[in-house]
Chain A
Amino acid sequence: MYPYDDTDRQLLRQRVAQFRGQLERYQGGALSDDQFRQLRLRNGLYLERQAHMLRVAIPYGLLSSAQLHKLAYVARAYDRGYGHFTTRQNIQYNWPELDDVPDLLADLAEVDMHAIQTSGNVVRNVTADHLAGVAADEVADPRPYCEILRQWSTLHPEFNWLPRKFKIAVTGAAHDRAAIRLHDIGLQVVRDETGETGFRVFVGGGQGRTPVIGKVVREFLPEPHLLSYVEAILRVYNLLGRRDNIHKARIKILVNSLGIERFGELVEAEWQANLARGALELTRDDLERMRAYFAPPPYAAQAALDTSFATERARNPMFARWVERNTAAHKVPGYRVVYVPLKAPGVAPGDATAEQMDRVAALAARYSFERVRTTHDQNLLLSDVAQGDLCALWRALEAAHLATPNLGTLNDMICCPGLEFCTLANASSLKIAAAVNERFDDLDYLYDLGPLQLKISGCMNACGHHHVGHIGILGVEKGGAEWYQVTLGGDATEHAALGERLGPALPQDKVADAIGAILDSYVAERQPGERFLDTYRRIGIQPFREQVYGADPTPRAAARRVAA
């Protein structure tokens, strides 16, 4: 983990003091509402439906136990005892008082945390594959690059007023767990035929009301040029991105209007022209030093010799089920990756109480080298657990309601905060999540359905990633009522695809029924070994459509059909 030094800490202290001053100027009338809004957003502070919301950065989803304890403290001291982990690996608090925010930020700074650039039209938190460094399939650990990008983009003077927000994700593996094709810039670490390390660079992906899958702007960018090339992309975007219409201001719109080739030419020209100065060129030494911060922890050489794990697994079916469902392979023999799902029935997806945060932090200190990760599907994970510790860890997680063995199932859904919390939402995504949890509570049925991603957004801004859910649900407002559009076939991986609309929107009380009908259709049509997504790709949307809407796809007929 990258350790903060005097420079980083001084920057945080100064930034907290600066924000305190900005708040005072606003409250004293020296800053207008709009001016203060722009400034507070650069510090992660939103004004939401009922209160202020503060989003705290968790760079590439990596936390120490001490940091997670502090997040628990903040939840107790400034919020209502819980926090919400987001799809960009951050955490947000829904109830801080405006006057308290400078103190809250000062508390976070004590553990080297902050809310810098978690909102506003700036480079946001850089995200990464949640299995970085422990996945067997990666070319290289993406986190050193994330940290280099984080330091370079923090309070960058040129890019503090971009046309719109800007999200970067990095993966070190060909199998994409970081949704890099749905980011403004997506970076995949690759090696060329000579063995040189570099990046495949995607640009212009994104969700929101105009979902676009990112395009390759450069097949191979040599490693030393990471920052100079990203700078060139941002400069072209900063000058040419639209500023007249907030809905057309993301880089994806610019890339689409210029065409990827023309956009790539402009970036290439700008990049080449500045290369000679070399101020941003990464040296071998820069990279090695940064990589050293992310060196593997001191794994026990004897971990794989443990026999208690196999014994417990054979003896205790509940434990065996949890191991099968909620843990994953680790590249080091004798270790497993342990997911801590924040998707228990009756809980908003991604929410964790202060007690749960403290518990996970303590368990990480005991069993996983004091490190906790957040995932883009709103769970936590302990990345390095010796197999001999798994049973004790499972019991402790069980006691904290953090061992629901539903990872990767329909119930492990992504969901935005929706109408109850967000000023943008026009539907209650959380109610849909609750209805799904209630209706599909038979674990054996969920297991039989196999890997399934349900993603729910309360409005077209798509914070719940519905476009790339295998099943996507989008809340819309029609005539003062909440309706829900269903899409099928979305995918956020290296096979990225946007979901196709199933048919007319459904009323809230019919959504769970419609999902039931879709699943029935899948079960009836699937061939052995086929996941939902495979079946969908083979047979297309029509059989699902007919199952939900019948031959007559009008809303009234649909409502009748699912009611029957």
Chain B
Amino acid sequence: MALIRHRALQHDEWQPEAQAAGGDLRVPLARWREEREALLRRPGRLGLVLDSREDLATPPHQLAEELAADLPRLALIELRFAAFNDGRPFSQARVLRERFGFRGELRASGELLADQLRELERCGFDAIDYASADDARQALVMAGDVDVALQPAGDDTELVFRRRRRAPLSLVR
């Protein structure tokens, strides 16, 4: 696994569920639902792993509402792509960030394309965990290839036609 934060490869301090002894622990949604109170009582940081195919096929607000009260206590929410073309995490990320104000780490993992780095970032992901170091390096190489954005998403880009009328043409990006 190769983790990108802030456009750089970084050490991942989160261990897989089975290897997390006393410290930080991330658990799948099913375990969270069963052991929520016990998990919240443990020392160390807590993360939640949601699978795009199993967990995200819900109305936009439903899952986030279930988690809403506990969001401040979750240090990490990891949205795992079952397939690179399963677009559900993009929408779920925006719901968690924008509508429910989740401030912890929002991580993408699973099957991801190097080409997807920027669209993940723009939907609110601040950590992207590629399956291989090659993919992560490729993603970083290509990250600036298309840097024009025409619309707001999970970032603070303005609608392009509104931005245009304020800036001299040559400065508009």
Contact = CB atoms under 8 A, between A and B. Distances in A.
A500 B84 CA distance: 40
B113 A35 contact: yes
Contacts of B19: none
A50 to B, nearest CB: 27
B20 interface: no
Nearest to A263: B59
A193 interface: no
Interface stretch (A92-100, A265-273, A306-314, A438-446): A265-273
Interface string A154-175: 1111111111000000000000
Interface string B157-173: 01111101100011011
B40 interface: no
Contact of A14 (B53, B90, B147): B147
A14 B146 contact: yes
A290 B86 contact: no
Contacts of A5: 164, 169, 172
A18 B116 CA distance: 12
A15 B149 CA distance: 12
A52 interface: no
A166 B160 CA distance: 22
Given A151-B150, A239-B60, A280-B159, A159 B145 contact: no
A297 to B, nearest CB: 22
A270 B95 CA distance: 9
Contacts of B151: 151-154, 156
A238 B160 contact: no
B139 to A, nearest CB: 12
A305 interface: no
Contacts of A300: none
Contacts of B152: 279-280
Interface string B56-75: 11111100000000000000
Given A152-B159, A156-B151, A161 B165 contact: no
Contact of A240 (B58, B98, B153): B58
A121 interface: yes
A7 B162 contact: no
Contacts of B138: 25, 30
A7 B91 contact: no
B164 to A, nearest CB: 7
Contact of A39 (B87, B115, B145, B154): B115
A255 to B, nearest CB: 14
Interface size band for A: 35 or more
B161 A290 contact: yes
A238 B88 contact: yes
Contacts of B169: 5-6
B136 interface: no
A555 interface: no
A238 to B, nearest CB: 5
A39 B119 CA distance: 14
A157 B90 contact: yes
Contacts of A159: 87, 90
B162 to A, nearest CB: 6
A75 B121 CA distance: 39
Contacts of B173: 7, 10
Given A7-B150, A11-B148, A157-B118, A266 B59 contact: yes
Contact of B161 (A14, A18, A163, A289): A289
B166 to A, nearest CB: 11
A238 B164 contact: no
A14 B147 CA distance: 8
Nearest to B134: A30
Given A158-B153, A240-B57, A38 B85 contact: yes
Contacts of A283: 162
Interface in A399-438: none
A18 B144 CA distance: 10
Contacts of A17: 145
Interface string B80-122: 0000111110111011001100000000000001010011101
A151 B160 CA distance: 8
A21 B142 contact: yes
A33 to B, nearest CB: 14
B123 interface: yes
A162 B173 CA distance: 27
Given A154-B150, A157-B119, A157-B122, A18 B172 contact: no
Contacts of B145: 14, 17-18, 21
Interface of A: 5-7, 10-11, 14-15, 17-18, 21-22, 25, 30, 35, 38-39, 121, 148, 151-163, 227, 235-236, 238-240, 243, 266, 269-270, 273-274, 277, 279-280, 283, 285-286, 289-290
Interface of B: 53, 56-61, 84-88, 90-92, 94-95, 98-99, 113, 115, 118-120, 122-123, 138, 142, 145-154, 158-162, 164-165, 169-170, 172-173
Given A151-B150, A151-B161, 18 more contacts: A7-B160, A18-B115, A18-B145, A30-B138, A121-B85, A152-B150, A152-B151, A155-B149, A158-B119, A160-B119, A161-B84, A161-B85, A161-B87, A239-B91, A239-B92, A269-B60, A270-B59, A283-B162
19 contacts: A6-B169, A7-B160, A10-B173, A11-B150, A25-B138, A35-B84, A148-B161, A151-B150, A152-B159, A155-B150, A156-B153, A158-B153, A160-B119, A162-B87, A239-B56, A239-B60, A239-B92, A266-B60, A283-B162
- Closest 10 CB pairs between A and B? A161-B87, A157-B119, A157-B122, A11-B148, A279-B152, A14-B146, A238-B91, A158-B90, A152-B151, A18-B145
